Structure 1
Amino acid sequence: MENDSGNHYHFQNLQESDMTFNQVFDHIVTFMRSQPTGNHRLIVGTDSQVHPQKTIFITGIVIRNKGSGLWACIRKVIVPRKMLHLHERMSHEMSLSEEIVSLFTEERKKQLINIVLPHIYQGASFKMEGHIDIGAGPKNKTRTFVKEMIKRMEAIGVEPKIKPDAFVASSYANRYTK
């Protein structure tokens, strides 16, 4: 059984490669401590792209302070086959997001909340969001999965966001799946 510290996961961004989850968490803490009075949103979202011999999944982790920048990284997972069934791919995207969200244990979330807690009367806030690369529009092929995926996100205690508000999955992670 692998430990739950997340050290067997590998993350990267433009500045660093091969980060452990503990290193990612430290970056998030540092970012939030640099602006403890901010409106912080911790966002996790996954996107995928089918290629000729494989399917690439990218999970993005973004800590954002409204109006004052962000810090972000990705985790790349490659499935060595074309995953052509939309529901299977959407479900796998969700599972990868759930996996990363689970690394933010109650203890870790409490640590993040404690950064903004002394500043809530100055407007500081913290919330977690799960960005799902699906849309509810009538032309969107993923609309039939919206309720299921939203329920899965809510079940793990994260506020779900779908297109057009799911920018971590539909924009940030998407650019790394190509």
Structure 2
Amino acid sequence: MLWRTFNGEPLRLPVKRAVEEAIIRETQKGYHLKVCIGTDSQVRSAETEFATVIVFVREKHGGFMFIANDKTRHPYTIKERMLVEVARSIEIAYELCDLFNKYDVDMEVHADINTNPQFKSNEALREAMGYILGMGFAFKAKPEAFASSSCANKIVN
């Protein structure tokens, strides 16, 4: 995956190293960090675009994020697409979790899945929650899942 900052600047380091440098830099400035990882997708005709974000939240001081996008022509049902979003978030969370443990940074995986059963995405809620919690990660769904439903959503829309 090719990662960049919100302003479009490509990360010049592998994402794991860039995340570690960001954690070190921000904690040296005195900020208490929490990291939220989420993915959203948008279907446009035959293409599905995915955006995965790593959101660094500085307690009471805003935040910043790293972003990766890609597109596929694979057709998904809504449930499959929701679970692919979760799998993408878990993949990056798993790659980075040792850093969060090393630097004592709280991390959550956010799923763009509605907790209201009236919404189609709700079909994937039980499996997504089990997948995320089973990997040992903290889980948030809509409306608390801002990394996926707000941050990543802005990238694919």
For normalisation by structure 2, the TM-score amounts to 0.89
2:25 is the counterpart of 1:30: yes
For residues 104 and 84 of structure 1, do their structure 2 counterparts lie closer, same or farther at Cα, with a shift above 3 Å needed? closer
Let me know the Cα RMSD of the aligned residues: 1.7
SS of residue paired to 2:50: strand
SS of residue paired to 1:150: helix
Identity within the alignment, %: 27
Shift of 1:171: 0.6
Residues 110-165 of structure 1 deviation map (CA, whole Å, 9 limit, x = unaligned): 3321xxxxxxxxxxxx4110100001113211222212111111122211000000
Q: Report the equivalent of 1:121.
A: none
Deviates more, 1:44-53 or 1:25-34: 25-34
Q: Report the equivalent of 1:150.
A: 129
For the pair shown, the structure with the greater C-alpha radius of gyration is 1
For normalisation by structure 1, the TM-score amounts to 0.79
In structure 1, the gaps of 5 or more residues are: 1-8, 114-125
Please list every run of at least 4 consecutive aligned residues from structure 1 whose deviation after the TM superposition is greater than 2 angstroms: none
In structure 2, the gaps of 5 or more residues are: none
Paired amino acid for 1:56: E
Distance in 2, matches of 1:95 and 1:159, equals 14
Q: Report the equivalent of 1:111.
A: 102
**Maintained 8 Å contact 2:111/2:141:** yes
Q: What is the number of residues matched between the two proteins?
A: 154
Q: Report the equivalent of 1:101.
A: 93
Residue of 18, 33, 47 corresponding to 2:40: 47
Paired amino acid for 1:110: N
SS of residue paired to 1:142: helix
Residue of 62, 82, 85 corresponding to 1:90: 82
**Maintained 8 Å contact 1:134/1:143:** yes
Q: Which has the higher strand share?
A: 2
Q: Report the equivalent of 1:3.
A: none
SS of residue paired to 2:71: strand
Residues 32-57 of structure 1 deviation map (CA, whole Å, 9 limit, x = unaligned): 33225x2x211100000001231000
Shift of 1:15: 5.4
Distance in 1, matches of 2:19 and 2:8, equals 12
